[in-house]
Structure 1
Amino acid sequence: MDFSFNDDHLALRDAVQRFCAGEYPAEQRGNAVTPEQAQQGRAAMAELGLLGLPFGADVGGSEQGAVEVMLVAQALGHALGDGAFVASTVMAGQVLTRLASAEQQQRWLPGLASGQQQMALAVYEAGARYDWQRTETRAEPSGAGWLLDGHKTLVLHGDSADVLLVVARTAGAHADRAGLSVFAVDATAPGVTVQGFDTLDNRRAAHVTLKAVQLDADRLLGPHGDAAEAIGAALDAATAALCAEAVGAVDALLAHTAEHLRTRKQFGAPLAKFQVLQHRVADMAIALEQLKSMACAAAMAVQAGEPVQRRRLVSAAKVLTSQKGREIGLAAIQLHGAMGMTDECRVGHYAKRLMVIGQSLGDAAWHLQRMQQGQHLSQV
């Protein structure tokens, strides 16, 4: 694979880095934000064109691919920037792009690209771990529309979403791949209860309950019962973006740690003079290069679109990200000493974000199992 960037890529990366430097002050990175602050940040991202980056020009987008999304996610990860970019633009946006009709795309994607609307994908359920195909939420025909009942959990940024893209079963048993459909549900619709909560990294997620939610027929995205491939592709695109975000976070951690070791003294000498600490920083730098390579491989596999290769490389990248992210985060805290445990020190916020990324959309064990299953199927 060719991991080199062209001039357009470099210009995009530099523009987003300048944006993040101004929009996310270093001393506030990782702090909880109010809904008003989050909305202001999304408006600024929309003005720069980031929220519509992967969408078509006819809906206000830039028609960019997974590599460009990777560059944006890396810059946001370095600044601990808006996490709704992955949840709304990448994950929910991919589902809409792949399943929605032209009329439905015109209905929702322009608002998503302009920052006036936010969406979230409600796919996981309690007890299913990361196996999103284990869906018990059901949609039954009702008159000219559908009736939804069920529960969804860990919906990223679900409590700030205007529209929830709910994965429900319209046919088959609860673990079947066939029979899954996606419905666009207004978060304020009768029968919808959204319970938001804080995550470890000061971001938000939600549990969603649906009780006899009545939907019109035009709220179904794509043909019913045939949404599994689109859902899987959207989750892989979001996972690749999370891996890229982790690269940015690790890069920032390495910079913070190296600066601390250069300026902090012990026994009259900077900590950076101690060889054992030099080895720790060298290990972090090597891990960063590994993460960069795997994030590039995952993004290019998503962009290529071949399902088997995409699943294999995205899972490989996520395994490394989950393992190395936690390891590097804890190492950075240790190298900062007691101050690394305080909220005023930024390294703790980066470590928390890396831990959450490691557990989001599949942990290392789940993705290792998926890689093994994919390898077995390819040999049959």
Structure 2
Amino acid sequence: MKLGSQGLEVSVQGLGCMGMSAFYGPPKPETDMIVLIHHAVQSGVTFLDTSDMYGPHTNEVLLGKALKGGVRDKVELATKFGINLAEGKREIHGDPAYVRAACEGSLKRLDINCIDLYYQHRIDTRVPIEITIGELKKLVEEGQIKYIGLSEASASTIRRAHAVHPITAVQLEWSLWSRDVEEEIVPTCRELGIGIVAYSPLGRGFLSSGTKLLENLTQDDYRKFLPRFKPENAEQNNTIFERVNELATRKGCTPSQLALAWVHHQGKDVCPIPGTTKIENFNQNIGALSVKLTPEEMAELESFAAAHVKGDRYGDAASTWKTSDTPPLSSWKAV
């Protein structure tokens, strides 16, 4: 599929690689993850998504090893910068020096010469977006990256960025139970010809198995701290999974396939990137491409999902597109 209007072509479904190295429990065995990545590429899923903060850094190193032996030429590789987890603190940076240093670091860890799609992972609200994109534009001109992306950016931030250099893709959370982007962000992307990459299209796994998922989470699994996974919210949210499961049973597919199919049906400019660490789950996910939904089935799914979800996507302190506006360019004073 064509992602955005700048020329990037990717597989219709991608593979999110975060959970292989970080946040969803302990890192998985490197050898097994490389086998999974190779299986994905051989299966036609060639759009791979990572970030320098996953680990931090270890997921990019893993991808770098997996891309050896001619695999690099078969994939479209996306990584991100902007979130620094140094010394256990989470800081967001978008100043030119940081952008350049981050890109150089990612290129080294991935052991490649050029990044296909380079996202600003979160927006630095201290730095005018024009300044950040200006440095990314230089990296494009120098051949270090091919295309520029944004993640969790507001409509105004996207417009301002796009005016400096065309934005190829915006990554956002979009699923049956996360639909707030549909009002303003998605229309803005479509107006500007920007592709949409949907992360967590399975509700971080909840839409696959409901509260059963919670029984198997390790103590260091990031999801345990998210509002929708808290016990006071999870039981109500499980009713969403149960309804998804009911319709999936009627259609002869799995809940995961149904939830993913719903995202695919949002448009040909949308590429979901479900993550997994198991080949059997990967195979199940690509089966979603064969699930066709009628308008009535789409309406049925939508009637109970977003309306009944309890809890926010993230905790109060998290930076999202709702808090991503940056100062005007006129306010910038280079350090």
Determine if the TM-score, normalized by the shorter chain, exceeds 0.5. no
Q: Which protein, 1 or 2, shows the higher relative CO under an 8 Å CA cutoff with sep ≥ 6? A: 2
Task: Give the TM-score normalised by the residue count of structure 1.
Answer: 0.31
Task: Give the TM-score normalised by the residue count of structure 2.
Answer: 0.34
Structure number with higher helix proportion: 1
Greater Cα radius of gyration, structure 1 or 2 = 1
